[in-house]
Amino acid sequence: MRLTAMTDYSLRLLMYVAMRPERLCTITEIAEVHGISRAHLVKITHQLGLNGWIETVRGKGGGMRLAGCPEDINLGDVVRSVEPDFALVECFATGSTCTLTGHCGLAHVIHDALLGFMRELDGHTLADVLPRGTKGPQALKKIRFAPLTRMRMTR
């Protein structure tokens, strides 16, 4: 399973903004820090604003800030609001043509795995995933954002 880039970037944007509650953050600065297309971030910012995760201020001196406290922003809710669908296999999608639909045990296993994944996200807030030691302006200067690397799944 892989979340879309929009979900990944949405979470990064929320983390960035959460670490700077004292000011408005701009799309340009977030794009530069994360190496993400500014045009892509415009779409993401719009979607996050529509979903009520951020507040935006237009015009000169504008930017964005969280619409609530990081402790109140549930990661599962954010992912559900941004991710276009959770059709991990064809039979989960509308109009599936899989010949095994209704006779296959795999769909049940994958469905349960998805529920476990979402349950884990539901157990965490934005505050839980902020980098440690990010309180105060001096600590923020120490944070260096870098592109995420692939994590290995272990049993």
- The domains of the chain are located at 5-84+126-142
- Residues 6 or more apart whose CB falls under 8 angstroms from that of 123 comprise 76
In terms of pTM, does the model score above 0.75?
A: yes
| CATH T-level assignment (fold) for domain 5-84+126-142 | Arc Repressor Mutant, subunit A (1.10.10)
Work out the number of other CB atoms within 10 angstroms of the CB of residue 67.
Answer: 16
> Counting Cβ atoms within 10 Å, is residue 33 exposed (0-12), middle (13-18) or buried (19+)?
middle
> Counting Cβ atoms within 10 Å, is residue 13 exposed (0-12), middle (13-18) or buried (19+)?
buried
- What's the pLDDT tens digit per position in 75-112? 999 999 999 888 777 777 777 777 777 778 888 898 89
